[in-house]
Amino acid sequence: MESSTTLAADRIGQSAATGGSASSASGLVAAGTPAGVSAAPAVPERSPSRSSLRQSTSMHRHSFAENLRNAPPSPRTLRQPSFTQQVQGLLNHPPPQRQPQARFAGRALQDISLGELVSQEDVRWASMDSSVEECTKTLLRGNNMTGAVLIRNNSSEKAAISTFDYSDLNAYLLIVIGMANPEPDQVAACQSIASRAQDRIAIPVRDVLPVCHKEPLAMLSCEDDLLRAIEAFGSGARRVVVTKFNSAEVVGVLSQLHLIQFFWNEAVNLPQIDPLYTATLRDLELGSKEIIAINADRPLSDALSLMHSEGLTSVAVVDNGLNVVGNISTRDVQHLTSVTSFPLLQSSCMHFISVILSERGVEEGRDSFPVFHVNPHSTLAHTVAKLVATRSHRVWVVESPSPSPSAPQTPLLSPVPAASSASIIREAQAAPE
């Protein structure tokens, strides 16, 4: 079940580790005895009778049986967030600072060309003969906003013929561990890939791409206007390759997150977009209607298979009460690229999330939140600001009892349709001029 509100992004998630502490019983002993005053001798107590012990045991068993009748509560309801007040404020009320550029002031969407929004510095290349390992290293290197590596026939060409992204890496991993469920005509190819991977033979990406169920490459000219890109994203494209006018030479790649950031920074300059920001997600009817999620106790391999079979880039992780407790995206597959990490595939989704949070905490020097969320009463401005601030491709929309600003800091309520960056882009497309 995927929360019907995925703001693509990505993920989820696009994360913070939380923990609770129990008070020590010894710290309460003689707490009311003033210093220098000896406490009165304790009155000896009679040992409990056998009948009372039996009664106590019976009551304990009864209460244990009663607890089993209902789904256990989310462990997160008993924990307190461990991140600092500054980070907590960022997550609950993302900073609304914008950085508009004067060159976009007063211009309509159809007057802004794609060439003004992209840069060749964001383009990463690999050739069809590059190994999957080389493509993976290129994909993971540095801050890759596009989330993909462009594939060309050879290193001398400047035209893209395909891409290699985190979904492809996930598909390759499932093939290697024998959980790909290929089509009948692809069984032999998958078996060959798995065999060579086990023998540690370099596998060219040209052998993997045909079994990754890739969508056609979305390509537009640098002279095309922003509305053309919005239409492409609204039809399901994850990114748009921008080329020179009347040429196949690539000049940049426009991602959904890149476009969301543009809308946030330039909203004050775009009369079609700025009025939408005061509306709530419920009023705008943002988010998909089908919820796809996975239980936190299920193996990680099941989550990867679910994303691959359903064509998802992210899946919500829920507890027995359908409370969203985390998020797993195809980008998280980067934590499984070494042989030593393969045991994680059989661990629970919740354990994998805790591993990711721990690694991020070491890398970033601060705690991470396990899932970013909003509710149907959140405004579009709040939602977009959270996406931009956390650099996420999606946030989960969870139910809220009322539009009260005192909503829980963790998503304790049942998920509802998720909102993604793609859905926000479609809303921008429908905005009146």
Q: How far apart are the C-alpha atoms of 176 and 101, rounded to whole Å?
A: 47
Residue 75, in any domain of the structure: no
In the chain, the amino acid numbered 425 is I
Tokens linked to 328? 């797993």
Percent of the chain residues past pLDDT 90, beyond the cut: 39
CATH of the domain at 255: 3.10.580.10
Q: Mean of the pLDDT values across residues 330-357?
A: 90
Residues 290, 201, single domain; the answer is: no
Domain ends where: 247, 269, 291? 269
- The domain boundary, picked from 245, 269, 293, lies at 269
Same domain, 291 and 262: no
pLDDT attached to residue 388: 85
Which has the higher per-residue pLDDT, 53 or 177? 177
Confidence (pTM): 0.71
Range from 26-30, 45-49, 52-56, 168-172 carrying the lowest mean pLDDT: 26-30
One domain for residues 294 and 336: yes
pLDDT at 370: 56
State the DSSP H helix or E strand holding residue 370, giving kind and residue range, or none if neither: none
pLDDT tens sequence across 366-413 = 555 556 788 888 999 888 888 888 778 788 888 764 444 433 344 443
Q: Is residue 87 part of a domain?
A: no
Of 269, 295, 330, the residue that ends a domain is 269
**Who has greater pLDDT, 355 or 35?**
355
Q: Domain count of the chain? A: 2
For the sheet containing 293-295, what is the strand order? Answer: 293-295, 314-318, 324-329
Type of residue numbered 377: H
State which residues form the domain around 194.
109-269
The 3-class secondary structure across 402-419, one letter per residue, is CCCCCCCCCCCCCECEEE
327 in Cβ contact with 12 (< 8 Å): yes
Q: How far apart, in whole angstroms, are the C-alpha atoms of residue 104 and residue 196?
A: 52
pLDDT surpasses 90 at 418:
no
Residue scoring higher pLDDT (231 or 426): 231
Per DSSP, 29 falls in state: T
Q: Which pLDDT does position 150 carry in this prediction?
A: 97
pLDDT in tens, 103-156: 888 888 889 999 999 999 999 999 999 999 999 999 998 778 889 999 999 999
Predicted local confidence at residue 433, as pLDDT: 46
Q: Given this model, what pLDDT does residue 422 score?
A: 58
* Chain segment 279-313, per-residue pLDDT in tens: 999 898 887 667 789 999 999 999 999 999 998 88
Residues 413 and 336 in one domain: yes
Shared-domain flag, residues 265 and 405:
no
Q: Are residues 234 and 292 in the same domain?
A: no
Residues 10-21: what's their mean pLDDT? 34
Q: What is the mean pLDDT of residues 69-79?
A: 43
Lowest pLDDT segment from 260-269, 335-344, 380-389, 398-407: 398-407
Q: What is the per-residue pLDDT for 371? A: 64
- Whose CA is closest to 108, among 261, 255, 226, 274? 226
